[in-house]
């Protein structure tokens, strides 16, 4: 049996200060962590913005500079691939970079179960082949069938991801939901499931919606956390992307005093599935009569289509 490698503390390799960040102030180099928030808080948009920044060198959210660049490996377990492509294309347009040739690689398998040994090995092989700077897994709930509230079941899966990070020197970003109605708790404590998830992260980003504005909170294990950033989901040309609310932009802001029609379009644009009228009422915080009238106008104008028992944005597969 081989002995454990041991090194005296003063012989440990030093990390140059300029290599501390993957994205300055936002995500640590080779950090594991979570992008968390309640449903419809644009978590996937934020994760994809980080992916585009690392793959291209463009500023994340038009503000945070990447300190290192390289390939990105992405698995999207909820959104159809056409939606993933459209969102990445929109973010690339907002960042002012070409979408063609963008170094983001998408796992196209219909499912990825990291509680299964076979799928764990498949992901190891993919990471080994690509050697990405960043691995994005969205969302956690689609990666397993374990009990998220049981630490004994969550910890081994998170340990596997930590092992990937250490073996291949890649950052790992996990998108995860916060509990509904947990706005009074600290952002990390509001994450759904075991407290192991909050404790696991080296860099964690949390999104909360307050009065139709998105608030981004940053948390690091080994660095000071920055100030809260106010974000907006806005139309840039033909695509949607997040950007700081206080930054000058020619984008059309979707969150500033939206009409009922605009609010419904915004909610439908943020999801890949058809939503029922009841779901739209909850997401938009509007009365049934208001939602019904707005949907009638949107359908008559061809901007929204009826899909079975739900509604979807025209042109959104």
Burial class of residue 13 in the structure, from the number of CB atoms within 10 Å of its CB (0-12 exposed, 13-18 middle, 19+ buried): exposed
Six-digit token pair at 30?
Answer: 């080779």
Structure confidence at residue 254 (pLDDT): 47
DSSP symbol at 39: T
Q: Measured between alpha carbons, how far is 14 from 20 in angstroms, rounded to an integer?
A: 11
Q: Measured between alpha carbons, how far is 278 from 260 in angstroms, rounded to an integer?
A: 15
194 and 157 Cβ atoms separated by less than 8 Å? no
pLDDT by 10s per residue, the chain, length 317: 678 889 989 888 776 544 489 999 999 999 999 999 988 899 999 999 999 999 999 999 999 999 999 999 999 999 899 999 999 999 999 999 999 999 999 999 999 999 999 999 999 999 999 999 999 999 999 999 999 999 999 999 999 999 999 999 999 999 999 877 655 566 667 898 999 999 999 999 999 988 667 999 999 998 888 889 999 988 876 678 998 987 555 554 544 446 778 788 888 888 888 899 888 888 887 788 888 888 888 888 888 898 887 998 886 65
Q: Considering the chain, tell me which residue range(s) the CATH 1.10.10.10 domain(s) occupy.
A: 258-313
Question: Across the strands, what pairs with 200?
Answer: none
Strand segments, DSSP code E, in 27-147 are: 27-28, 32-37, 72-76, 104-106, 134-138
Burial class of residue 306 in the structure, from the number of CB atoms within 10 Å of its CB (0-12 exposed, 13-18 middle, 19+ buried): exposed
Q: Considering the chain, tell me which residue range(s) the CATH 3.40.50.300 domain(s) occupy.
A: 21-244
How many residues in total does the chain contain?
317
- Would you call 182 helix, strand, or coil by DSSP? coil
Q: Name the nearest CA neighbour of 32 among 156, 216, 177, 163.
A: 163
Q: Please give the model's pTM, rounded to 2 decimal places.
A: 0.74
75 and 114 Cβ atoms separated by less than 8 Å? no
**205: part of which helix (H) or strand (E)?**
strand 203-210
178 and 162 Cβ atoms separated by less than 8 Å? no
User: What is the CATH code for 21-244?
Assistant: 3.40.50.300
Six-digit token pair at 134?
Answer: 């960043």
Six-digit token pair at 103?
Answer: 């170094």
Six-digit token pair at 11?
Answer: 């012989």
Q: Measured between alpha carbons, how far is 135 from 33 in angstroms, rounded to an integer?
A: 11
- Would you call 315 helix, strand, or coil by DSSP? coil
Structure confidence at residue 134 (pLDDT): 98
Q: Measured between alpha carbons, how far is 81 from 77 in angstroms, rounded to an integer?
A: 10
Domain topology for 258-313: Arc Repressor Mutant, subunit A (1.10.10)
Question: Tokens 């793959």 appear where?
Answer: 55
Q: Name the nearest CA neighbour of 175 among 94, 74, 107.
A: 74
Radius of gyration of the CA atoms of the chain, in A: 20
Q: Measured between alpha carbons, how far is 260 from 263 in angstroms, rounded to an integer?
A: 5
Q: Measured between alpha carbons, how far is 266 from 284 in angstroms, rounded to an integer?
A: 9
């Amino acid at each position: 049996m081989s002995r454990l490698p041991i090194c005296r503390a003063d012989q440990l390799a030093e990390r140059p200060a300029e290599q501390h960040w993957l994205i300055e102030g936002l995500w640590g180099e080779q950090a594991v962590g979570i992008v968390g928030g309640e449903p419809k808080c644009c978590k996937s948009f934020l994760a994809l913005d980080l992916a585009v920044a690392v793959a291209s060198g463009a500023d994340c959210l038009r503000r945070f500079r990447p300190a290192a660049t390289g390939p990105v490996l992405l698995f999207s377990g909820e959104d159809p691939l056409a939606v993933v492509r459209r969102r990445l294309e929109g973010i690339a347009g907002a960042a002012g970079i070409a979408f063609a040739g963008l170094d983001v690689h998408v796992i196209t398998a219909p499912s990825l179960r990291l509680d299964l040994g076979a799928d764990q090995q498949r992901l190891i092989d993919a990471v080994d082949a690509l050697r990405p700077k960043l691995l994005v897994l969205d969302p956690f709930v689609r990666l397993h069938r374990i009990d998220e509230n049981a630490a004994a079941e969550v910890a081994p899966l998170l340990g596997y991801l930590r092992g990937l990070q250490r073996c291949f020197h890649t950052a790992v970003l996990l998108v995860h939901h916060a509990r509904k109605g947990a706005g009074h708790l600290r952002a990390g404590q509001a994450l759904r499931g075991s407290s192991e998830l909050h404790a696991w992260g080296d860099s964690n980003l949390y999104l909360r919606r307050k009065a139709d504005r998105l608030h981004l909170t940053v948390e690091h294990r080994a660095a000071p956390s920055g100030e809260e950033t106010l974000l907006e989901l806005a139309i840039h040309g033909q695509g949607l992307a997040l950007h700081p609310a206080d930054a000058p932009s020619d984008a059309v802001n979707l969150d500033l005093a939206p009409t009922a029609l605009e609010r419904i379009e915004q909610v439908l644009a943020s999801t890949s599935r058809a939503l029922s009228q009841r779901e739209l009422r909850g997401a938009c915080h509007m009365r049934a009569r208001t939602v019904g009238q707005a949907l009638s106008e949107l359908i008559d104008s061809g901007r929204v289509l009826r899909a079975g028992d739900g509604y979807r944005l025209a042109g959104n597969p």
